[in-house]
Amino acid sequence: MKDSAVSAEQPRAAERTTGDLARAAVSGWLGTAMEFMDFQLYSLAAAIVFNKLFFPDVSPAIGLIAAMATYGVGYVARLAGAVYFGRMGDRIGRKRVLYLTILLMGASTTLIGVLPTYGTIGIMAPVLLVVLRLIQGFGAGAEIAGATVLLAEYAPAKRRGLISSLVSLGTNSGTLAASGLWAVLLAVLSEEQLLSWGWRLPFLLSFGLMVFAVWLRRGLKESPVFEERPDVVDGVALAREEVESAVAEAGPERGGVLAAGVRQRKGRAFFLALGLRFGQAGNSGVVQTFLVGYIATNLAVGRSVPTDAIVYGSLLGFATVPLVGLLGDRFGRRVLYLVLTALTVVLAFPVMLLITSGTTPGVMIGMVLGLNVGVLGLFSLESVTMAELFGARTRFTQLALAKEIGGILATAIGPVVAATLTAVTGSWWPIAAMLVVYSLITFVSAYLAPETRGRDLVRLEDAV
């Protein structure tokens, strides 16, 4: 055991300057924007062209299901990345992990843009697509969790919701950029041009963004909360057995602080966080992924209408996300969760009636409402609430796992279930029912959860 671990006094880390906070904020925003740009590029490609390029020998309905499945496999890799990089981030710090994750995401996304299609190499095309999707997911599994933790740990307690919402703005920026790129391609290219070379452009353009993000993160300072943790010595967290020894040797005050982090029974905070994740993750998979393909395939509107709707909804999200962050700082996280999830339940069927009306205004209004109330608003809350719910010793790992398990159960599986149910029933009502179920799970979780606003993030134990 390291002798310094038992010191009764451990100096607090130097406070970060406004410039340090700004760099961390831009880094977190950019990395999350890149992650969601990459994933939205893929999800839109899966909904619009991948069924034709990589699964051409099946019916359109089966092709859409297969394309949604390739979208979903990335979430399995995300779980592996969450475990691997989450533990690394809790052990050696946040910034090193964020440097590695951005490299993995950027390289795999760029390579998708040069991938041969089924018409060129046959069955190896979808196989390679899945491989790159797995690599992309492995890096992304800890990217948003790391950015969330870093921003929350940098932010002043009274503005934590607002500053942490930059992570959500990053997701919105990435979604907007990807949707905007696809909207332009659909507007200016013919079907033949889109399928032959146009679909590659968004993936190739992500390379420049990766280079800038890597450069930015090279100068990033470590989270002040990580440096202030009582179980961190010389930049590395003590193992459990070392902490147990330190508890015995330290004074009552310091020993109690250390013991709280390693002896607390885990589980309750994690399952509450998983429930909080379900509403946003499930609604996102339905609104941002499945409905784009469903509208393009089943409704008599222009092929660019669903992507245009995502663009307009994302633009409105630049007001929705920080507003929810500010309200969370003012009134607390829990009450806003209850309000937003209740609104999503009430609006689910009216929103789907608007979308399936077959009119361009109906589709636009329905998609914009669903995106801002049921997805972006909840995401703004999720970013800060999960960070406050977990203790500093396992915050990165638990937050990453809650996000990715929720992503697998809701975002990844949801579009496949929605495609199957709508194909079997020939109706849109299962989509609305899924939005209701996802939102009710989060409503109940928020009702059972404690209020976390203003919690001391240096504490090693979970909030419950």
Please, what is the average pLDDT of the chain? 85
Q: Where do we find the tokens 């992924």?
A: 289
Name the CATH superfamily for 17-448. Answer: MFS general substrate transporter like domains (1.20.1250.20)
The residue with greater pLDDT, 272 or 144, is 272
Q: pTM here?
A: 0.83
Neighbours of 395 (CB within 10 A): 30
- For residue 62, give the nearest of 355, 423, 319 by alpha carbon: 423
Cα–Cα distance list, 395 to 169, 272, 275, 462 (Å): 21, 14, 17, 8
Angle at 178 between CA 177 and CA 180, to 5 degrees: 65
The residue with greater pLDDT, 442 or 288, is 442
pLDDT at residue 56, rounded to an integer: 65
Q: Per mean pLDDT, which range of 64-73, 283-292, 293-302, 433-442 is the poorest?
A: 64-73
Q: How confident is the model at residue 181 (pLDDT cuts 50, 70, 90)?
A: confident
pLDDT at residue 8, rounded to an integer: 39
pLDDT at residue 64, rounded to an integer: 59
Q: In this predicted model, what pLDDT tens digit does every residue of 135-153 receive, in sequence order?
A: 888 888 888 889 899 999 9
Half-sphere exposure of 183 (CA within 13 A, CB side): 14
Percent of the chain having pLDDT more than 70? 91
DSSP state of 455: -
Task: Concatenate the DSSP letters of all residues of 380-445 into one string.
Answer: HHHHHHHHHHS-TTTHHHHHHHHHHHHIIIIIIHHHHHHHHHHHHH-SSHHHHHHHHHHHHHHHHH
Q: How confident is the model at residue 253 (pLDDT cuts 50, 70, 90)?
A: low
Percent of the chain having pLDDT more than 90? 36
pLDDT at residue 13, rounded to an integer: 47
- For residue 397, give the nearest of 386, 412, 384 by alpha carbon: 386
pLDDT at residue 331, rounded to an integer: 95
Neighbours of 266 (CB within 10 A): 12
Domain boundaries, the chain: 17-448
The residue with greater pLDDT, 210 or 440, is 440
| H/E run at residue 233 | strand 232-233
* pLDDT at 255 > cutoff 80: no
Task: Concatenate the DSSP letters of all residues of 58-106 into one string.
Answer: S-HHHHHHHHHHHHHHHHHHHHHHHHHHHHHHHHH-HHHHHHHHHHHHH
Q: In this predicted model, what pLDDT tens digit does every residue of 296-338 receive, in sequence order?
A: 888 877 777 887 888 899 899 999 999 999 999 999 999 999 9
* pLDDT at 132 > cutoff 70: yes
Angle at 62 between CA 204 and CA 127, to 5 degrees: 45
pLDDT at residue 59, rounded to an integer: 59
pLDDT (mean) for 161-181 = 84
Q: What is the per-residue burial (b if ≥16 Cβ within 10 Å, else e) of 434-457?
A: bbbebbbbbbbbbeebeebbebeb
If you count DSSP H runs as helices and E runs as strands, how many of each does the chain have, helices first?
A: 22, 2
pLDDT (mean) for 128-134 = 84
- For residue 145, give the nearest of 84, 203, 206 by alpha carbon: 84
pLDDT (mean) for 244-249 = 74
pLDDT at residue 439, rounded to an integer: 97
pLDDT at residue 175, rounded to an integer: 75
| H/E run at residue 237 | strand 236-237
Residues, the chain: 464
Neighbours of 430 (CB within 10 A): 18
CA distance 383 to 368: 21
pLDDT at residue 179, rounded to an integer: 77
| H/E run at residue 232 | strand 232-233
Q: How confident is the model at residue 364 (pLDDT cuts 50, 70, 90)?
A: very high
* pLDDT at 1 > cutoff 50: no
The residue with greater pLDDT, 246 or 464, is 464
* pLDDT at 9 > cutoff 60: no
The residue with greater pLDDT, 394 or 28, is 394
- For residue 348, give the nearest of 330, 325, 375 by alpha carbon: 375
Q: How confident is the model at residue 7 (pLDDT cuts 50, 70, 90)?
A: very low
Q: How confident is the model at residue 166 (pLDDT cuts 50, 70, 90)?
A: confident
* pLDDT at 349 > cutoff 90: yes
* pLDDT at 280 > cutoff 90: yes
Cα–Cα distance list, 192 to 199, 225, 249, 355 (Å): 11, 53, 72, 28
- For residue 342, give the nearest of 386, 387, 377, 383 by alpha carbon: 377
Q: In this predicted model, what pLDDT tens digit does every residue of 54-100 receive, in sequence order?
A: 766 655 666 556 666 666 677 778 889 999 999 999 999 998 898 88
Q: Per mean pLDDT, which range of 14-23, 243-252, 365-374, 405-414 is the poorest?
A: 243-252
